Homo-oligomer: A and B are copies of this chain.
Amino acid sequence: MDQVNKEELMKLVEKARPYSTNGKLIDYIPALRTENIDDLAISIYFLDGSFYYAGDYLKPFTLQSISKVIALAYVLIEHGEEQVFSKVGMEPTGDPFNSIAKLETNKPNKPLNPMINAGALAVTNLIIGKNLEDKWNRFASFVGKLTKSPISYNQTVSNSEFETAFLNRSLCYFLKQYGYVQGDIEDLLALYTRQCATEMNCKDLARVGAVFSNDGCDPNTGECYIPKNIARICKTFMVTCGMYNASGEFAIKVGIPAKSGVSGGIMGSVPGKCGIGIYGPSLNEIGNSIAGIKLLEMLCEKYDWSIF
């Protein structure tokens, strides 16, 4: 079978790690600035239950934009496609994830997809609950089912992002003007920054990726948490816009559904094969883990995991 072995995985990690020095740590989220630049860890969770890892795969980090895929799955389950896609589109953009220009110029001012910030904010706005705590608890409980472990968020990171999220506030009010977001914006941002600060390690992240790979079902128990169609939608967005405005290049060079976050995390999902969790905080200019991408490139080439 086309599974990896631990030694090979460690070798690949060591080959990819030096690329970290070409990137840099995120600077606009103060609480994320203290990371070790050449950290690099990976976990792979195969659908037969086998599990591989290399590096400090138990070190927790915040999901950041990776949470956008999980939130999308959650609100699709809660509301259905029709309602969700009345608030957010399906098209890749070619613009940076925090861009606002196209929201204005592209009528009817709907965020183009749920992987850019504007779209993700519209998605998080659909999370139901009596109040912030309740909304967070529901979302966290959903995530916990995927990881099979209790979920919390990093309060320092969440607070830090909440306080400096001026561009996200700008996006929210723009969306509110056009009805793609409702309710109190500070409440929405409080929930969104918690969601982004959801903490996980590579092991958990690989498990979530495996659930998506397995059409929404737990590879061990067979229990299904995400309808197949929704899992597929999520994987599709991961391909067309999961790696920010380098998604096209990633699809060409790696060719698997993946979603990155500015914390340096990447969740990969090879349909029918495995889930992958990566952590490498050194980012390229686009905001993707520079060594993480290199690692995925080598891995997917070696095992021929491209879906194309």
Q: Which residues of A contact B (CB under 8 A)?
A: 89-95, 99-102, 104-106, 112-113, 166-167, 169-174, 176-177, 185, 232-233, 235-237, 239-241, 245-249, 251-252, 255, 257, 271, 306-308
Contacts and interface: CB of A to CB of B under 8 A. Distances in A.
Contact of A104 (B101, B240, B306): B101
Contact of A93 (B94, B169, B170, B249): B94
Given A101-B105, A257-B308, 4 more contacts: A90-B251, A101-B101, A232-B308, A237-B252
Given A94-B94, A176-B166, A248-B92, A104 B113 contact: no
B232 A91 contact: no
A271 B255 CA distance: 13
A246 B104 CA distance: 19
Contacts of A173: 166-167, 169-170, 173
A166 B170 contact: no
Contacts of A176: 166
A129 B94 CA distance: 33
B235 A89 contact: no
B252 A241 contact: no
B249 A90 contact: yes
B240 A251 contact: yes
Nearest to A92: B92
A172 B169 CA distance: 9
A64 to B, nearest CB: 18
A95 B92 contact: no
A193 to B, nearest CB: 15
A108 B67 CA distance: 31
A248 B113 contact: yes
Contact of A99 (B104, B113, B166): B104
Given A94-B112, A176-B166, A255-B232, A89 B240 contact: no
Nearest to A106: B94
Contact of A91 (B94, B169, B171): B94
A94 to B, nearest CB: 4
A170 to B, nearest CB: 4
